[in-house]
Structure 1
């Protein structure tokens, strides 16, 4: 079964709004798709919820504890792997994401157009809508 690496924007959107992204999180929760991510992404999600959506620490912990168990695995990368991938991207903060996706051999699911454009030279990249068309959602 294909593994899908969920980027920060997919998880945040899925947690906050109804739509393709929330459907992806629902399918992962039901075990109908193999969703993976990295600790870097989970840390970014917590940061975004706290700093951009004014979630207090307790609410961040609650939301993260709701979503974290739905991932079939959390990919860990080292500094060398991140550095290797940082040479391929103009936005160096995306290097930990690319490193984790390359290491996992998963498909990157992202709404970040700039990351998608650069990363597709090295890995398969799809949108949330494209993922739902690949997966049996009935």
Structure 2
């Protein structure tokens, strides 16, 4: 088989991500949806993370996460940080929240683990697609 031919028929990482995102954003396990499951996983990863969220309204935070996903995707697509993205960086890097770089890595790991649980078509390629799409925005937030 011609390698170029197989490349043409293989879905792009963007397509894999889009398809996976559509599956997980509406999926539920019992009464727990994807975003709630993500926070359960993320908060369970370390006392440091739980401490950062101790005074957080999690309903509001969950809504902000969904909105943040959109802006991370825009950053991936355009390479430009819009005003919302700039405000996220200022909030996360400043004294208000003060998120250390290693917590972004834990965030990504919790995200991938949650996708694996909620996407019934999850593969290593799906995980890679999520990492490739989310990494530019997270890297921007870590090092801006």
Larger helix proportion of the pair: 2
User: Could you state the TM-score of these two structures normalised by the residue count of structure 1?
Assistant: 0.35
For the pair shown, the structure with the greater C-alpha radius of gyration is: 2
Return the structure number with greater strand share: 1
Question: Greater RCO between the two (CA within 8 Å, min separation 6)?
Answer: 2
TM-score (norm: length of structure 2): 0.33
